[in-house]
């Protein structure tokens, strides 16, 4: 294996590089597994509560915005295939270290809030599977913390082990969603349920359906995030410039189709008002459409599905911290790689501690999921602008180029969905504000560390030929 050499002032520090273990199929399963999971399993009911039977429509709108933004990510990840993701693109485009740090911190927090959402959902479904009767309170918190500690251990073990576990968990969550789809189609064929619900809006008398759909989309967007995580695995992917475009778009299309089919099945079998009660809506769909199906089996499937979301998001968060530390935007200690496991172990500890705090002190699944979507929509707005700014930066290797109109539409759409006019829960702005305030404090600490060590952060760079150094 070739070591990556990091330079800080006049001192050369040698750190091990990351392993390139992800081929096309592992990457596809990584993307599908990250997009599927907590969002569709836990938030379908919350979306139905806002719009009624057309629960599929907010997912479709969110899917469209995600695909448009994905084209911007494809251009940037094939142009700059490094682990830092959106933060790298922001720094390359604008060169303002504070903005770079806030973007990096926002993306990191989005991964951790998403994983914390999954941890709570895991605890609730764990309770259902084993009949513990824990729906809230200290029991759920303790289960969530124990689960997050296991995720950290798997993450430390290595990305090779993590993505292999992701293959298993992705197959499990796909099985769960296929069960919902099959039960829905079978019930429809047998004349059960009410298919007419899929065209019914649930809105106050005399109020346009537009704003309820937009409000539901801000929550449904949480179910579509995940594709952006994959760019942070660029240094652990084989031939990223070649395989990313087709694999990312394929993953989005697969998940978008599954979401629409699951939504139609769910609202056909269960009334929207009932679907919106509790944090396990798909359990109600299965028990209504197939009463003889062992509900504890589906509870186990749901439990492992949200576990997959937590694993991938914590992988992303730790790799982002590692990547930004190498660029001297975060303290150098966060970029340390374990000598034998070849994993960024300090970054894993740091992100896990933040997750512990969110699991312990922050509220419900909709609050955490909505905050995740809010943070990422802000980041996506910046990324869509950055791809246009960086058109002037030429690299000496071929890369994907998005049609110019798409980043323009993406920036407008993502920016629009972040606003209070969408009907977003104000608590989401408070949670995001506190997290970003923590980011500002860390930025100040980083500035003092850099001054004390004589480090002057520079714009992120890529290896010779625009690619990282080889890893065997």
- 30: domain range? 4-455
pLDDT digits (tens, 9 = 90+) for 135-185: 667 888 888 899 999 989 888 876 665 566 667 777 888 888 999 999 988
Predicted confidence at residue 82, as pLDDT, reads: 64
Torsion sign (Cα): 240, 242, 245, 250: negative
Instruction: Return d(Cα 35, Cα 59) in angstroms, integer.
Output: 12
Asked if the structure places residue 468 within a domain, the reply is: no
Number of domains the chain contains = 1
Residue range 284-329, pLDDT digits in tens: 888 888 888 888 888 888 887 777 778 878 887 888 788 778 777 7
DSSP per position, 235-278: GGBSSHHHHHHHHHHHHHHHHHHHHHHHHHHHHHHS-HHHHTSS
Q: Residue 471's pLDDT is what?
A: 24
472 within a domain of the structure (yes/no): no
pLDDT per position as a tens digit, 71-101: 998 888 888 776 556 777 888 898 887 888 8
- 18, 162 in Cβ contact below 8 A? no
Alpha carbon of 370 to those of 47, 77, 114, 225, 314: distances in Å?
11, 26, 9, 11, 18
Give the strand pairing for 4-8 and 11-15.
Answer: antiparallel
Q: Under a CB-based contact definition with an 8 Å cutoff, are residues 13 and 457 in contact? A: no
CB 110 within 8 A of CB 225: yes
DSSP string, 117-161: HHHHHHHHHHHHHHT----SSHHHHHHHHHHHHHHHHHHHH-HHH
Does the residue 243 lie in any domain? Answer: yes
Q: What is the dihedral of CA 420, 421, 425, 431, to 10 degrees?
A: -10
- The answer to whether residue 197 is domain-embedded is yes
**Domain-embedded: residue 471:** no
pLDDT reading at 470 higher than 70: no
**Rounded distance between C-alpha atoms, residue 180 and residue 200, angstroms:** 21
Average pLDDT value over all residues in the chain: 80
Structure tokens, 267:
């609202």
pLDDT surpassing 70 at residue 9: no
Q: Does a structural domain hold residue 186? A: yes
Is the model more confident about 33 or about 235? 33
Above pLDDT 90, what percent of the chain?
A: 20
Q: 467 falls in which pLDDT band (50, 70, 90)?
A: very low
Residue 158: what pLDDT?
67
- Other CB atoms closer than 10 Å to residue 462's CB: what's the count? 18
What's the rounded Cα separation, in Å, for the pair 262 and 173? Answer: 12
pLDDT at 430 over 60: yes
At 313, which CATH number?
1.20.1740.10
pLDDT of res. 463: 35
In terms of pTM, does the model score above 0.85?
Answer: no
Gap between the terminal Cα atoms of the chain: 5
Q: Is residue 464 part of a domain?
A: no
Q: Look at residues 382, 371, 451 and name the one whose alpha carbon lies nearest to residue 415.
A: 382
Split at pLDDT 50, 70, 90, the class of 211 is confident
Task: Judge whether 240 and 78 are in contact, CB under 8 Å.
Answer: yes
345 in a domain, yes or no?
Answer: yes
H or E stretch covering 11: strand 11-15
Name the pLDDT band for 472 (thresholds 50, 70, 90).
very low
In this prediction, what percent of the chain has a pLDDT beyond 70?
83
């Amino acid at each position: 294996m070739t070591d990556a050499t990091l330079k800080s002032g006049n001192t050369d520090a040698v750190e091990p590089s990351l392993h390139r273990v992800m081929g096309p199929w592992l990457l596809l399963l990584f993307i599908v597994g990250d997009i599927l999971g907590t969002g569709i399993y836990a938030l379908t009911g919350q979306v139905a509560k806002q719009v009624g039977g057309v629960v599929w429509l907010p997912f479709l709108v969110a899917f469209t915005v995600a695909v448009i933004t994905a084209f911007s990510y494809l251009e940037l990840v094939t142009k700059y295939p490094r682990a830092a993701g959106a933060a790298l693109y922001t720094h390359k485009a604008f060169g303002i270290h504070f903005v770079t740090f806030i973007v990096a911190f926002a993306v990191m927090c989005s991964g951790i809030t998403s994983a914390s959402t999954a941890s709570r959902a895991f605890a609730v479904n764990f309770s259902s599977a084993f009949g513990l009767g824990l729906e809230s309170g200290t029991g759920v918190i303790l289960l969530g913390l124990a689960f997050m500690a296991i995720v950290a251990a798997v993450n430390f073990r290595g990305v090779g082990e993590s993505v292999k576990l992701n293959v298993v968990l992705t197959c499990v969550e796909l099985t769960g969603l296929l069960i919902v789809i099959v039960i829905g189609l079978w019930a429809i064929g047998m004349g059960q349920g009410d298919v007419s619900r899929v065209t019914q809006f649930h809105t106050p008398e005399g109020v346009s359906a537009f704003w309820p759909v937009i409000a539901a989309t801000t929550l449904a967007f949480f179910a579509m995030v995940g594709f952006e995580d994959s760019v942070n695995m660029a240094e652990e992917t084989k031939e990223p410039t070649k395989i990313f475009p087709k694999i990312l778009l394929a993953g989005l299309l697969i998940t978008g189709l599954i979401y629409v089919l699951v939504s139609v099945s769910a609202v056909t079998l269960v009334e929207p008002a009932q679907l919106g009660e509790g944090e396990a809506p798909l359990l109600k769909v299965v028990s209504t459409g197939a009463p003889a199906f062992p509900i504890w089996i589906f509870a186990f499937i749901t439990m492992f599905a949200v576990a997959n979301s937590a694993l991938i998001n914590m992988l992303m968060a730790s790799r982002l911290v590692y990547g930004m530390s190498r660029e001297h935007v975060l303290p150098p200690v966060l970029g340390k790689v374990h000598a034998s496991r070849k994993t960024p172990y300090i970054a894993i500890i740091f992100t896990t501690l933040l997750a512990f705090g969110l699991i312990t002190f922050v509220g419900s699944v909709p609050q955490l999921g909505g905050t995740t979507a809010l943070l990422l929509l802000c980041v996506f707005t910046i990324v869509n602008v950055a791809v246009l700014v960086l058109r002037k930066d030429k690299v000496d290797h071929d890369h994907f180029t998005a049609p110019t109109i798409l980043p323009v539409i993406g920036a407008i759409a993502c920016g629009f969905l972040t606003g209070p006019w969408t009907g977003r829960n104000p608590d989401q702005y408070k949670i995001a504000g506190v997290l970003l305030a923590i980011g500002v404090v860390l930025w100040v600490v980083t500035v003092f560390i850099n001054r004390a060590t004589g480090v002057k952060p520079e714009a992120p760079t890529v290896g010779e030929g625009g690619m990282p150094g080889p890893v065997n």
